[in-house]
Chain A
Amino acid sequence: MAFELQKLSYAFDALEPYIDAQTMEIHHGKHHAAYTNNLNAAIQGTETEGKTIEEILSNISAQPVAVRNNGGGFYNHNLYWEIMAPQGAKQPEGDLLKVLNESFGSYQNFKEAFTKAALTRFGSGWAWLVKQGDGLVISSTPNQDNPLMDLAEVKGTPVLGVDVWEHAYYLKYQNRRPDYVEAFFNVVNWDEVARRFKG
């Protein structure tokens, strides 16, 4: 069965004023839709068809570059939409907070390190909070790569990701990526991050 563009669980304008409706509409309806369609086209009629996206990503080094780029784009945006919400926990709590504290010293330290990863990723890419064993680490990847890919420098399960392709923020923030990343923290759905962390 072909991969389908996942519907957003909130309206395009639900993340205003942090992420504007026009950005959401194009990001989801054009960019994410294109990755989804291109992924389907790239695997159609191959033995990859029918595999889960996680299976595909875990052995991505064996795939053509179109599957890497579009499979990553398909998965990454699914995660990105889900870990954001107009409401939901605004701060991590419980087990997730405990492990964040153990891994980074404090929530503030985590936020600073994650922000730094997002700002120093040169060109298009993503910054990630990654579950490795029982702990958490921060990484960033170029373009549409992610920590599930066998070729990623830092491998693990992504539990939080911020898209730092310019298309994620240019209409509202233009060259000011730091303002976008700061705004992003206002719409992180920590309940969903905790759910992914729990596995």
Chain B
Amino acid sequence: MSFTLPALPFAIDALEPFISARTLEFHHGKHHQAYVTNLNNLVVGTEFENADMETIIKKADGGIFNNGAQVFNHTFYFEQLSATPATEPSGELKAAIESTFGTLDAFKEAFNKAAVTQFGSGWAWLVKDAAGKLSIVQTSNAGCPVRDGFTPLLTCDVWEHAYYLDKQNLRPAYVADFWKVMDWKVVEGRF
């Protein structure tokens, strides 16, 4: 079995002006594609040749983990972006966020801080643990909360390639624009 690059669930220019078509052409067409290609090449002849993604993320190390987790992380990131997003959570997710963080704004503030202070390449996440408790975590490079037993609900890619063409060194401006295309409907489905 080999992994394939999922198509973007929106047109390449759909997230303008918040995330540019040019950024997405590279981010999806080059970076995400390279992780898929590298993963398929690296697993050949290893115990992971026919493994599913969860097994790779939980058990693999080195290049297989890095490329496998980055395939998962990027698919997860792109899936939750939309030109017509639900801009707020509702129902049980809204209640869980409010009981954990106080308000939606307080959650966003804490999440933004995690995204902006992740030093170097990495990701910020909203996750749920086995008991259903929500928390915010940072991972570096290809790090993925699935490996640590969490259920990821929402993520922001803070590798510089996610924003450098549009925002250069201004990561906080990217994170602010990220929320304008982040679809809470998708997050609710995951929750």
A interface, CB within 8 angstroms of B: 26, 30-31, 34, 65, 69, 122-125, 142-144, 165-167, 170-171, 174-175
Q: Which of A142, A171, A174 contacts B30 (CB 8 A)?
A: A174
**Minimum CB–CB distance for B116 against chain A, Å:** 12
Q: Which of B30, B34, B119, B161 contacts A166 (CB 8 A)?
A: B161
For the complex, what is the distance from the CA of A171 to the CA of B120, rounded to whole Å?
17
Residues of A within 8 A of B26 (CB): 174-175
Size of the chain B interface, CB-CB below 8 angstroms: 19
**Minimum CB–CB distance for B92 against chain A, Å:** 35
Known: A31-B169, A166-B121, A175-B30. 4 other contacts (CB 8 A): A123-B121, A123-B122, A166-B159, A166-B161
A-B contact count (CB 8 A): 54
**Minimum CB–CB distance for B98 against chain A, Å:** 32
Contact status B120-A142, CB under 8 Å? yes
Contact status A170-B164, CB under 8 Å? yes
Q: Mark B58-74, 1 if CB is under 8 A from A, else 0.
A: 00000000100000000
A30 with B160, Cβ < 8 A, contacts A123-B141, A175-B30 known = no
B interface, CB within 8 angstroms of A: 26, 30-31, 34, 66, 119-122, 140-142, 159-161, 164-165, 168-169
Residues of B within 8 A of A65 (CB): 119
A to B CB contacts below 8 Å, 14 in the list: A26-B168, A30-B168, A31-B169, A69-B119, A122-B142, A123-B121, A124-B120, A124-B160, A166-B159, A166-B160, A167-B168, A170-B164, A171-B168, A175-B31
For the complex, what is the distance from the CA of A142 to the CA of B142, rounded to whole Å?
13
Residues of B within 8 A of A170 (CB): 160-161, 164-165
For the complex, what is the distance from the CA of A6 to the CA of B117, rounded to whole Å?
25
**Minimum CB–CB distance for B119 against chain A, Å:** 5
